Amino acid sequence: MKRYAMLLGWFAAVTTGHLQATETAPVLAPGDNLVVEGLPQIPAALAERASRFTEFRSAGLQSWHPHERSMLIGTRFADTPQVHHVASPGAARTQLTFFADRVGDEIAAPHVTLVENPRNTESFGATTTDSEGLATRAVTLIEGGVLRGFLHNLYTGSRSGSGSTASATRSLSRPR
């Protein structure tokens, strides 16, 4: 009898329009150069909730001064890489770049062009694939002094809407 009442209630709800089809939740789309077979789609909401466990602030050495005890380090604020100067050991860092929302703006002298080329066999760490298994390629970051874009992994590329540049890296150490 209970089953009959439940079936009748469901039928009434469907015929009167009380049950509506739920919209499909947005999902993460893999990059064009990634073949995904037999894996379930990842809801964007799940990736957003998990991001607090994958986001941490780190700094990496970019360059050092040949005669002074100072260096340039790279950090990331939100989804934008930035360069900082550290004047001496233990000193506070000074932000040199402010790149957010500056794509298409002139940020350097007109003769400056910067290309990230992970396939360059003369560079340390040359590789044909990034840490997410995507085929690497040369990416122009600054061309003729104009900022053209940033390096992105699958996550930051999906958040920015520009897609991955196959530039994912993974640290050998774990964040604390």
Q: Give the tens place of pLDDT for each residue, 22-71.
A: 457 788 888 777 888 888 888 888 888 887 777 667 788 888 888 888 88
Full DSSP string of the chain: -HHHHHHHHHHHHHHHT-S-PPPPPPBPPPPTT----S-PPPBHHHHHHHHHHH-----EEEEE-SSSS-EEEEEEETTEEEEEEE-STTPPEEE----TT-TTSB-S-TT--EEE-TT-TTSTT--SB-TTSPBP--EEEEETTEE------HHHHHHHTS---S-----SSPP-
Against a cut of 0.75, is the pTM above it?
no
Kindly report the three-state secondary structure assignment for every residue of 18-63.
CCCCCCCCCECCCCCCCCCCCCCCCEHHHHHHHHHHHCCCCCEEEE
- Kindly indicate the confidence band of residue 143, based on its pLDDT and cuts at 50, 70 and 90: very high
Q: What's the pLDDT score for residue 101?
A: 62
Q: What's the pLDDT score for residue 38?
A: 87
Of 52, 93, 78, 56, whose CA–CA distance to 170 is shortest? 56
